[in-house]
Chain A
Amino acid sequence: MELIVHPSEPPVTNGHRPSLAPSPALAFHHVSKVFADGTQALDDVSLSVAPGEMVAIVGPSGCGKSTLLRLASRLSVASGGTIEVAEGNLGYVFQDATLLPWRTVQRNVELLAELSGVDKAERARLATQAIELAGLTGFEQHRPRALSGGMRMRVSLARALVMRPRVFLFDEPFGALDEITRERLNAELLELFVRERFAGVFVTHSVGEATFLATRVVVMSARPGRIVAEVPVPLGYPRAPELRFSPQFSDLAAEISARLREAMA
C-alpha cells in the first residue's frame, strides 16, 4: 500500500508547529504486529494522517484496529515497519472512560497535567477550560460513580483535551453508549474537532459513526488486519446531525458498508 499524503488539508493554525505540511501528524509505514503467542494482528499496514484530518477505521472485531492505536501511542511495539508521530502531545481516549473513581471530575480532568508536573494553579485553569469545552460545567465536584455513561465519556474527553493534543486517538469511545447519547457525543466531538483541529484517528464498529465524523474512512480486513479500502468523505465541517439523513451520506455509508462486507468475506 502506498503512503498517501494529503497536501490539500489545511495547515495547523495554532502555531504549535511551523506549518511544514505536508509532513503527516501520524504515519504508519508497512507496519506489522505479531503477538507473543504467534497471532498476527497486523500485516503491512501503511496509513498517513495529515494534520487536521480525522480518519475513521472500521473493520471486523479482532482485526487489529485497537492494536494500531496502541502502536501509535507506543503502548505496544511494532514487529515490523516504522511509525512516525508528530511532536506534541498525544491524546488517547479509551473504550472505557477509565476515570479514577476516588477523584472528582475536576481532579480526574487535571490528572494528565498533574503527571506532567504542571503546577497546581495552571492545571486547575487548564481543567476548568477543558471541563467547559466538554460541557461538564457544574459537575466539577461529582465523583464518576454519580455520572451516567455519557457524562463519564465527556470527562474522559476533557481529561485528554487538557494536554491540547495534536494527535488524538479514539479507541471506540462511544461503543458502549446508547444511540441517542452516542449521536450527541459525536456532534460534540466534531465541535471540538472543528475548534481544535487536531489530527484524529477514530476506531469504531459503526459505519454511520465513521461516516459522520471522518474526512476519510479506512476499512480493514479480518485478522491479520490489512487496509483493504479507503473511502474519502467529501463533506465539509461543521456537520449537522441531520446530515445523516441526506442522500449523499447514505450513499457514502452504503459504499463503506459494501467494502466492509467484502473485507469480512
Chain B
Amino acid sequence: MTVQEMTEPSEAEIPVDPRPDQRPARRRRRLVRVVAPAVVFAIVIGVWYFISYVLLDDTRRFLMPPPQSVLAVGFFDSANLTTILHALWSTTQVALVGLAISIVLGTLVAVAMSQATWMESAIFPWAVVLQTIPILAIVPLIGFWFQYGFNSRVLVCVLISLFPIITNTLFGLKSVDRTHHDLFTLQHATRRQRLMKLQLPSALPAIVTGWRIAAGLSVVGAIVGDFFFRQGEPGIGRLIDDDLSALQTQQLFAAIIVSSLLGLLVFWAFGLLGRALVGSWHDSTQAREVE
C-alpha cells in the first residue's frame, strides 16, 4: 500500500464546504425556515385579534382577551409575573425530578429486560398496563397514599413518562446489528462488555429519543399533578385552575403560554443533548435538526 493511494479523494469522503454555487440555495432555504413559521405566527395572532374584537362583544371579550391585554396583565404586571415565575419554578422542579427518576428507573428496567427473554416476558405486559392505566383514575389513590404534595406530583410525572423510556431503550438495546453481535461473540466478550461497549452505545440514539418524548410528558405530568395535589408550592397547573375559577382569563392565558414554553424548552434542550451525545456519528440527529 502506498501513501499516494491513500490520499486519493475517492477513498475518503471528508466533508467539505459547500461549493459557492450552492450557497444562495442554502441561504434561501434557511430564510424559508425562519419566515414560514413567522407567517403562521402572524396568522394565528390575526385570528386571535379577529375573535377578540370582531366575534366577541365587550361583555364576552373575557372569553378570549386580546394579546396585548394578556401581555399587559399576565407578564408586565410585576405581582402576577412573580406568581407565574414561582409556579413555573415549582412545576419545573417536579418535572425534572420526575424525569430523572424515570430515566434511571426506565433504563434499569429496559437493561434488565434486554438481558433475558424471561425478564422481558415478565415485565413487558406490566409496562403496558402502566401506560394504559387512566392516570386520572388513580390520582385519588395516589393522594390518599402519598399525601397531596411534591411526592405525589413527582409520582404522576414518573407514571406518565416512564413507558417511552422503557420502550425506546429496550428497542435500542435489541436492535443492535447481528454481525456486531457476532463480532463480540467471536472475541468471547462478556455480557458486561457486550452491554457497555456494544448495546448501550448502539442504543443511544433511541435512548435519547425516549428521553425527549419523556421530557415533554414529564411537563404534562407535573401540570396534571398540580391540579390535584394542592399542598405546598403552587405550580402552573394550580395557577391555571385558580385563574379559571376566578375568570381571570388574561392570567389564565399567560399561564398557558408559560407552560407551553416550558414544554418547548425541555424538548429543545433534549434535542441539543441528543445531538451532543450522538451527533458525531449518527445520521438521524441531523435529519431531525432539519425538520
Given A115-B197, A148-B11, are A75 and B281 also a contact pair (CB < 8 Å)?
no
Cβ distance B274 to chain A, nearest Cβ, rounded Å:
13
* Selected interface stretch from A10-18, A34-42, A88-96: A88-96
Contacts of A100 in B (CB 8 A): 180, 198, 201-202
Chief secondary structure at chain A's binding surface: loop
Residues of B174-218 at the interface with A, using a CB-CB cut-off of 8 Å, are 177, 179-180, 182-189, 193, 197-198, 201-202, 204
B residues near A191, Cβ cutoff 8 Å: 1
The answer to whether B6 and A138 have CB atoms under 8 Å apart is yes
Q: Given contacts A96-B179, A138-B6, is CB(A115)–CB(B12) below 8 Å?
A: no
Main secondary structure of the interface of B (DSSP, over half): helix
Q: Are A146 and B201 in contact (CB under 8 A)?
A: no
Contacts known (A75-B186, A145-B281, A151-B11); A94 close to B1, Cβ less than 8 A: no
* Interface range, B side: 20 to 34
Which residue of B12, B184, B193, B278 is within 8 Å of A151 (Cβ)?
B12
Chain A residue with the shortest CB-CB distance to B15:
A146
- Given contacts A100-B198, A115-B184, A145-B283, A135 and B179 within 8 Å (CB-CB): no
Q: Does B13 belong to the interface (CB within 8 Å)?
A: yes
Residues of the B chain whose Cβ atoms lie less than 8 Å from the Cβ of A137:
6
Query: How many Å lie between the Cα of A61 and that of B141 in the bound state?
Result: 63
Count, A-B residue pairs, CB within 8 A: 78
Nearest-neighbour CB distance to chain B for A30, whole angstroms, equals 25
**Bitwise interface map of A from 134 to 167 toward B, beta carbon under 8 Å scored 1, else 0:** 1111110011111110110000000000000000
CB-based contact B197/A135 at 8 Å: no
Question: Could you tell me if A134 and B13 are in contact, using CB atoms closer than 8 angstroms?
Answer: no
Q: Are A115 and B179 in contact (CB under 8 A)?
A: no
Question: Quick one: which of B11, B198, B280, B283 has the most chain A CB within 10 A?
Answer: B11
Query: Is A102 a contact partner of B12 (Cβ separation < 8 A)?
Result: no
Tell me the bound Cα distance from A65 to B278 in angstroms.
Answer: 37
Task: Please state if B278 and A75 are interface contacts (CB–CB under 8 Å).
Answer: no
Check: A263 CB closer than 8 A to any chain B CB.
Answer: no
Residues of chain A lying within 8 A (CB to CB) of residue B201: 100, 102
Q: Mark A53-65, 1 if CB is under 8 A from B, else 0.
A: 0000000000000
Q: Are B13 and A75 in contact (CB under 8 A)?
A: no
Residues from chain A with a CB closer than 8 A to the CB of B57 are none
Are A146 and B14 interface neighbours, CB within 8 A? yes
Given A90-B186, A100-B201, A139 contacting B12 (CB threshold 8 A): yes
Is residue B10 contacting chain A, with contact meaning CB distance below 8 A?
Answer: yes
Closest CB-CB distance, A69 to chain B, in whole Å?
A: 11
Nearest to B9 among chain A residues (CB) is A148
B289 at the interface (CB under 8 A from A): no
| B282 close to A (CB within 8 Å) | yes
Which B residues touch A196, using CB under 8 A? none
- Flag whether A232 is at the interface (Cβ < 8 A): no
Q: How far is the CB of A103 from chain B (nearest CB, A)?
A: 8
Contact of B179 among A73, A94, A111 (CB under 8 A): A94
Shortest Cβ-Cβ A-B pairs, 10 listed: A135-B1, A115-B187, A101-B281, A102-B281, A98-B179, A115-B189, A102-B201, A112-B187, A94-B179, A143-B281
A-B contact pairs, 5 of them (CB 8 A): A92-B186, A98-B180, A102-B278, A135-B1, A148-B10
Q: Interface on B for A, CB 8 Å cutoff?
A: 1-2, 5-6, 10-15, 177, 179-180, 182-189, 193, 197-198, 201-202, 204, 278, 280-283
